[in-house]
Amino acid sequence: MAFGEEAITAERNVGVGYGTPPVRQDYTGYEKEAESGLEFAQARYQNPVHGRFTSVDPLTASATIRNPQTFNRYTYALNSPYKFTDPLGLLSQYTSGACGGGCPNGEQSLFASGGSMTGGGTESPFEKEFAAMQESRAVENSPAVRATSGDRVRISTRTTHYTVKGKTAKEAALDAMKRAKERNRGESPGTDVGDTRLDSIDVEYRDGDVLEQYRLNPDTGAAEVYYTIQDAVVTAAIVTDLPSWTSDDPVEQARWDRAVNALKAHEDLHVADVSANVNGFYASIVGLAASGNGPSLDAARAIALQNLRSKVQEARNELVRRNNDSGRLRDANGANKIPIQ
C-alpha cells in the first residue's frame, strides 16, 4: 500500500506462483524487520501501519520555511509516497524519473532563493543546469581555476514616497512620525520617518560555479560527495521610503524641502551600509563547502546539497543581523528624524 503496509489477498498464494519473498527488502528497498513489522530506513525506522517514522528526523537541514510540511519531523516522504521516497530516513527525494532519480525534495533545491529576507523565493536558473550536470556525470574531480567576470554583485536602488498631511511643515513632520509608528518597520519605530530596507536578494549559480567532488566505493556503491561554491551572482534590491508633502506657501515648502533633503542624505548612508553588507554576504558564500554520505551517489548528493543550502541560509541570516546592527548604529544620533522645529 502507499506507506508500505502489506495488502493481504487470497489471490496471491503458492498455487498461482506466489511464494515467500527470497529477500527481506521490500518497500522502496527498506529491509523489513519481521519481529516488529517496522521498515529499517538506515537513520531510523518507518512504521508502515501509521505511515510515519518512529523517531524525529535527525537531519536538521531537511527542515525549511519554504515547505512547512518539512517541520513535521515524523512524516514519511512529505506525506506524498507516490511522489517521493526517503532512502536514508533523512531527506525526501523524488522517485525515479525526476533528476535521474535523486534530486532534492519538494521545497525546490538548494539553489532556489529570492524574495524578501523573511522567506519566499523563485526558482534559480541554475537548478536546470545542475540537473543536467547530474545526468551527464561529467564532473571534474579536481579543483579548477576559473576567471570571474567582476560583475557578480548587482545592487539596484529605488525611492518610494508616502504622502503626509498638515497645514504647515511642522504638522506634516508630526504626521510623518505618526505614520512611521503605524508602519512599525524602521529601526526605531515612531521616529524613523525615512526607511531603507533590503527588499530582496537573489543568489544565482552559473555553470561551473559549484564544484562537485566525490569518492565512490566500487564494491558497495556508497559515496561521499563534496560541494564547494566557487562563485555566484548576487542580485539585491534596496528600497528607501520617504515622506512627501506639498504646500501653497513657498516658505513652508522650502522648510519642508530642506528637511527632506537632509533626511534623504541620512537614508543614502543607510543605502551605503546595506550595499556594503550585501558585498560582505557575497564574500561569505564564496568558498562555502559541505559534504554528504550515502549508500549511493545520488543519495550522497542530496544530503550534501541540503547541508550546503543550510550554510547559505546561515549567511543570509547573518546579513539580516548586520543590516539591523548597522541601522541602529546609524540612527543613534537621531538623524532619522525629520529636522523641522
According to the per-residue pLDDT averaged within each range, which of 101-105, 255-259, 330-334 is highest?
255-259
CB burial readout 76-110, b (16+ within 10 A) else e: bbbeebeebbbbbbbbbbbbeeebbebbbbbbbbb
**Per-residue model confidence (pLDDT) at position 209:** 87
State mean pLDDT over 27-42.
85
- Res 132 pLDDT > 60: no
- Indicate if the pLDDT at residue 335 is higher than 80: no
Of the two residues 34 and 282, the one the predictor is more confident about is 282
| Whether residue 12 has pLDDT greater than 70 | yes
Identity of the residue numbered 73: R
For 201-223, what is each residue's pLDDT tens digit? 999 888 788 888 888 888 888 88
**Position 110 pLDDT exceeds 90:** no
What mean pLDDT comes out for the span 291-299?
89
Average pLDDT of span 145-173: 79
Of the given ranges (59-73, 90-104, 119-133, 286-300), which has the lowest mean pLDDT? 119-133
Of 10-19, 223-232, 291-300, 307-316, which range is least confident? 10-19
Structure confidence at residue 137 (pLDDT): 35
Alpha-carbon gap, residue 85 to 2, rounded angstroms: 11
Task: Decide if pLDDT at 53 tops 90.
Answer: yes
pLDDT tens digits, 182-206: 765 544 444 568 888 999 999 988 8
Q: Is the pLDDT of residue 95 over 80?
A: no
> Is 60 exceeded by the pLDDT of residue 276?
yes
Q: Is 186 within 8 Å of 242 (Cβ atoms)?
A: no
Average pLDDT over the chain, rounded to an integer: 77
Q: What is the mean pLDDT of residues 311-331?
A: 89
Q: Please name which of 247, 236, 243 lies closest in space to residue 277, comparing C-alpha atoms.
A: 236
- The three-point CA angle 257-258-261 to 5° equals 80
